[in-house]
Amino acid sequence: MKNFILIFILTGIVILNSCSENPQNIGSRNQSLLYQKQGLVDSLVGTCSSYLIRNFTLDTIDFSGYSNGVFEKDSYTDGDLSEIIVYYINADTSVNIVHLEGQSQINSTTQIKFHPPSTKNKYYLRLKLFSSVCTGQMYHLKLRNIRIYGEGLK
């Protein structure tokens, strides 16, 4: 009986110690978390005649030393022409590094890999809510839990 209790306690200790809350290693082992915004970023609601655009400043992110970037998000839209864009400004021109368009890309839960510049830049986020179909109902674009990783050390 003592052995059973000892094994039960040791198993509990091993299970509790194996759980980690370190967000730096959420993805694969060669990813480093560079930016994170937990919770609701924005929620756009409009009718089919609405064309709503919101812009946000994310942060200055340094991708030097990384060969790829990875974008993760929790998002939903029912507007077939809605968009989520992450971009930076280079010589007065916006350069898109992530461009998700339509329900199939925005509602997807897959990681989006992109090729970032190897410099430190200020990044922005643009949300667009639009639908080509007019049913008289309200359309939505919701974005939450943004995570941007650097991947693959150069």
The model's pLDDT over 48-88, given as tens digits with 9 standing for 90+, comes to 777 899 999 999 999 988 999 999 999 999 888 999 999 99
Angstrom distance (rounded) from CA 86 to CA 115: 12
Contact residues for 62 (Cβ-Cβ < 8 A; gap 6+): 34, 119, 120
Domain-located, residue 97? yes
Choose the weakest-confidence range: 26-30, 90-94, 118-122: 26-30
Mean residue pLDDT across the chain: 83
Domain count, the chain: 1
Higher pLDDT, 39 or 9: 39
Angstrom distance (rounded) from CA 82 to CA 100: 8
Domain-located, residue 22? no
Angstrom distance (rounded) from CA 142 to CA 12: 39
CB 152 within 8 A of CB 66: yes
